[in-house]
Amino acid sequence: MLRAALLCTLILVLQQPAAAQSFSYLAVGDSYTIGEKVDEQSRWPVMLADTLTKLGHPVYDPKIVAVTGWTTTELQAGIKDTNLQQNYDLVSLLIGVNNQYHGQDIEIFRKEFTELLQQAIEFAGGHPNHVLVLSNPDYGVPPVR
């Protein structure tokens, strides 16, 4: 259900008058974005682009800026080092579990995540509805059994 709702939302966001137009996609984050120890085709941004393409909304190969273990601070530095110069039709942001893993203060995360979200909106040409934010699971909560 969630997957279908996500795809429907993305398709609505990507609707443009020219049906055959290809869309650009920037994915920023950590190991959940880059796909730690999986082949390139199994990375979720690549799978999302492939799925949207198969549904008639062609997406170029995603530009991925992500490294396993990155915190929000490291993602900010990684984005700066990458020197991204263009706007993207779709931007995804998935970061935060490493801030928690390293026991960082939640206020650092709150401030830097807000900055990263604003930067993602800027990369999406100022369109907040073209930014997809995915939340990491909260590993601080014990599993329900």
Calculate the average pLDDT of the chain.
Answer: 85
How confident is the model over 14-62, as pLDDT tens digits? 565 445 588 999 999 998 899 888 999 999 899 999 998 998 889 999 9
pTM of the model: 0.83
Per-residue pLDDT at 12: 55
% helix / strand / coil in the chain, to the nearest 5?
45, 15, 40
With 70 as the cut, is the pLDDT of residue 3 above it? no
Per-residue pLDDT at 111: 95
With 80 as the cut, is the pLDDT of residue 10 above it? no
